[in-house]
């Protein structure tokens, strides 16, 4: 039977807290470091590897983490989740994003339907629609093909799909699988929508409106902006728009859309890239087969994440080490550093995924917790980050754990040899050097040039970023966040903190304000 207990009540956490601290400088130097890199490595799906040699752990710490995983029932809780338990207790909902890409356990029925069958049906409907668009069977009013797809959404309806699109754009072009350019409108700032609309041919553009409720203020505002642009161009908006929404929303049966594809309440926005939210735009951009490969990679990594052996479960060990760093070592932030330009928006997606999921100060029962939970997440692609904020990471007063992602080969295949090495080799050389530099540091009599080291990092390594490896990478971090939420005994699947600002914004627009809110409203000429 699954039990939900606060982290600080677990005997294994006390044991973890009492373990001897590991000196990274010592264990990562010389031959010790070489053997450690070989040892502290675990296989992921799709040829990826998670290596945590440069984390401040040893066999004693790992043994304590294994005990913590067992006492916190991480494997059992994941099993309960994918078998249809009500894990999102705040909203009394199942959590089913894993089922959009596969079925790990029993059939799950909700709302009178088999949920796996429901998600597959939506994927197939999207595939059929996308194929017809690509074949010219669904066209604009003039009978001409659509050349651009524009997603209108906010939060998880934007960050995840946008990051996934950018991650695969160059790969698709290189492999002759690029079907349509994709653009994204998210910010209610009219400059965002205007800039996108000015960059496209609206007559040959298909717009995907994403709103689960069909009432999201920011998204509907941007929809109106787009509809005005279509009307001003003499176009029928209903011939240019598709909805991704719930079956019960006002958008579901509206004649304002060419088609409506469905999601449900069991998938939060930040977990929705493998649902219709990501499926529509990615299938239109690259073709349904590419999206299917992306799902296949995510499903394969989910299976790895279900492994009950902690040391063979990369998402679980990554999560547990993160808890150790947050709750024992006291590190308040984590930085995500993909050495791949294609992943330039991946840190922003992970920021929402992690901070919206685990940025909680009460447990699953609404009781305050007496320990830190989710860290601050930030990041930037290497090598850009090296010339931006690495100075603080190397020599700042705070230790910030680092998560690197690197690939042996680039996506486009174009490169140049300069000084006996290619650009890709230089990129990979940089990430290897940074891991060791952060861990081992450098002694110098000039204190300005002294590097203390002891800065922990991990790296996920693969051969190339493609749909399958991207799916596996996404699933890894989704499952990592889930496991950490389990350890902290918080609900990682609601986001009540997002709602207050929305409520107050509506009051401002209705001029129902007083006090500071009224003064700020006046200052902003609302």
Q: Is 349 assigned a catalytic role? A: no
Q: Is the dihedral of CA 31, 57, 318, 45 positive or negative?
A: positive
Q: Is the dihedral of CA 290, 162, 343, 320 positive or negative?
A: negative
Mean pLDDT, 10 residues at a time, over the chain (526 residues)? 97 98 96 95 98 98 98 98 96 97 97 97 98 97 96 96 98 98 96 97 97 86 94 96 94 93 96 98 98 98 98 98 98 98 98 98 96 98 95 97 98 92 94 96 93 97 98 98 98 87 86 92 92
As given in the structure block, the two tokens for residue 517 are 């809110």
CB 313 within 8 A of CB 50: no
CB 270 within 8 A of CB 160: yes
> What is the pLDDT at residue 217?
82
As a whole number of angstroms, the distance between CA 177 and CA 165 comes to: 13
Q: Which of 291, 323, 348 is the last residue of a domain?
A: 291
As a whole number of angstroms, the distance between CA 427 and CA 408 comes to: 9
In a domain, 108, yes or no: yes
Bridge partners (DSSP) listed for residue 170: none
How many CB atoms are located within 10 Å of the residue 511 CB? 9
Of 38, 43, 502, 506, the active-site residue reads 502
CB 436 within 8 A of CB 28: yes
> What is the pLDDT at residue 509?
87
Global pTM value: 0.97
> What is the pLDDT at residue 218?
87
**E strand map for 40-127:** 41-43, 49-51, 109-110, 113-114
Of 296, 301, 356, 478, the active-site residue reads 356
In a domain, 222, yes or no: yes
In a domain, 182, yes or no: yes
Report the candidate in 500, 485, 482 with the shortest Cα–Cα distance to residue 363: 485
Domain count, the chain: 2
As given in the structure block, the two tokens for residue 15 are 């044991």
CB 394 within 8 A of CB 457: no
In a domain, 469, yes or no: no
Q: Which of 245, 260, 291 is the last residue of a domain?
A: 291
Whether a cis peptide bond, with omega within 30° of 0, leads into 473 is: no
In a domain, 374, yes or no: no
As a whole number of angstroms, the distance between CA 515 and CA 359 comes to: 29
103: left (phi over 0), alpha (psi -120 to 50) or beta: beta
> What is the pLDDT at residue 506?
86
In a domain, 134, yes or no: yes
Q: Is 387 assigned a catalytic role? A: yes
Report the candidate in 21, 57, 25 with the shortest Cα–Cα distance to residue 40: 57
Q: Which of 291, 315, 330 is the last residue of a domain?
A: 291
As given in the structure block, the two tokens for residue 375 are 């860290």
**E strand map for 109-185:** 109-110, 113-114, 148-152, 181-185
As a whole number of angstroms, the distance between CA 157 and CA 180 comes to: 19
As a whole number of angstroms, the distance between CA 399 and CA 375 comes to: 13
Residue span of the structural domain in which 510 resides: 497-526
- Residue 245 belongs to a domain with what CATH number? 3.40.50.10490
CA atoms within 13 A on the CB side of 446: 2
How many CB atoms are located within 10 Å of the residue 432 CB? 15
As a whole number of angstroms, the distance between CA 274 and CA 501 comes to: 28
Q: Hey, what's the torsion of the CAs at 356, 149, 405, 99, to 10 degrees? A: 60
In a domain, 204, yes or no: yes
CB 328 within 8 A of CB 16: yes
As given in the structure block, the two tokens for residue 206 are 């298909």
As a whole number of angstroms, the distance between CA 143 and CA 18 comes to: 71
In a domain, 393, yes or no: no
Of 387, 426, 449, 452, the active-site residue reads 387
Question: What secondary structure, in 3-state letters, does 25-38 show?
Answer: HHHCCHHHHHHHHH
Q: Is the dihedral of CA 348, 351, 357, 359 positive or negative?
A: negative
Report the candidate in 446, 110, 456 with the shortest Cα–Cα distance to residue 263: 110
Report the candidate in 364, 402, 353, 365 with the shortest Cα–Cα distance to residue 486: 364
């Amino acid at each position: 039977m699954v039990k939900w207990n606060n982290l600080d009540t677990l005997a294994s956490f006390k044991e973890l807290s009492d373990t001897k601290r590991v000196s990274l400088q010592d264990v990562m130097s010389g031959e010790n470091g070489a053997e450690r890199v070989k040892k502290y490595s675990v296989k992921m799906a799709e040829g990826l590897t998670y290596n945590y040699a440069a984390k401040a752990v040893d066999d004693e710490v790992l043994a304590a983490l294994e005990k913590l995983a067992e006492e916190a029932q991480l494997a059992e809780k994941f099993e309960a989740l994918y078998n249809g338990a009500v894990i999102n207790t705040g909203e009394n909902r199942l959590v089913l994003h894993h089922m959009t890409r596969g079925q790990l356990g029993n059939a799950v029925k909700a709302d009178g339907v088999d949920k796996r069958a429901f998600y597959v049906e939506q994927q197939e409907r999207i595939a059929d629609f996308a194929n017809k668009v690509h074949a010219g069977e669904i066209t604009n009013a003039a009978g001409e093909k659509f050349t651009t797809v524009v997603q209108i959404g906010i939060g998880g309806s934007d960050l995840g799909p946008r990051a996934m699109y950018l991650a695969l754009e160059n790969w698709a072009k290189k492999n002759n699988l690029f079907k349509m350019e994709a653009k994204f409108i998210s910010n209610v700032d009219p400059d965002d929508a205007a800039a996108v609309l000015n960059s496209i041919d609206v007559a040959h553009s298909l717009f995907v409106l994403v709103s689960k409720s069909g009432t999201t203020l920011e998204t509907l505002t941007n929809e109106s902006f787009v509809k005005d642009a279509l009307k001003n161009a003499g176009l029928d908006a209903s011939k240019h728009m598709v909805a991704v929404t719930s079956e019960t929303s006002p958008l579901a049966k509206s004649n304002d859309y060419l088609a409506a594809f469905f999601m449900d309440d069991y998938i939060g926005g930040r977990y929705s890239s493998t649902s219709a939210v990501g499926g529509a735009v990615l299938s239109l951009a690259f073709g349904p087969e590419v999206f299917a490969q992306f799902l296949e990679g995510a499903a394969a990594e989910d299976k790895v994440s279900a492994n009950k052996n902690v040391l063979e479960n990369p998402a679980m060990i990554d999560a547990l080490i993160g808890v150790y760093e947050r709750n024992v070592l006291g590190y308040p932030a984590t930085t995500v550093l993909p050495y791949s330009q294609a992943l330039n928006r991946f840190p922003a997606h992970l920021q929402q995924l992690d901070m919206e999921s685990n940025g909680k100060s009460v447990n699953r029962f609404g009781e305050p917790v007496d320990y830190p939970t989710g860290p601050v997440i930030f990041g930037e692609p290497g090598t850009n980050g090296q010339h931006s904020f690495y100075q603080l990471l190397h020599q700042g007063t705070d230790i910030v754990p680092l998560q690197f992602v690197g690939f042996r080969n680039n996506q486009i295949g174009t490169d140049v040899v300069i000084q006996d090495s290619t650009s890709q080799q230089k990129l990979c050389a940089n990430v290897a050097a940074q891991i060791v530099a952060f861990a081992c540091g450098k002694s110098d009599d000039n204190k300005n040039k002294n590097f203390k080291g002891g800065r922990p990092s991990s790296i996920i390594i693969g051969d190339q970023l493609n749909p399958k490896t991207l799916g596996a990478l996404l699933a890894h971090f989704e499952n990592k966040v889930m496991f950490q939420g389990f350890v902290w005994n918080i609900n990682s699947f609601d986001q009540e903190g997002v709602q207050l600002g929305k409520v107050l914004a509506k009051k401002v627009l209705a001029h129902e304000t007083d006090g500071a809110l009224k003064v700020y409203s006046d200052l902003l000429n609302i």
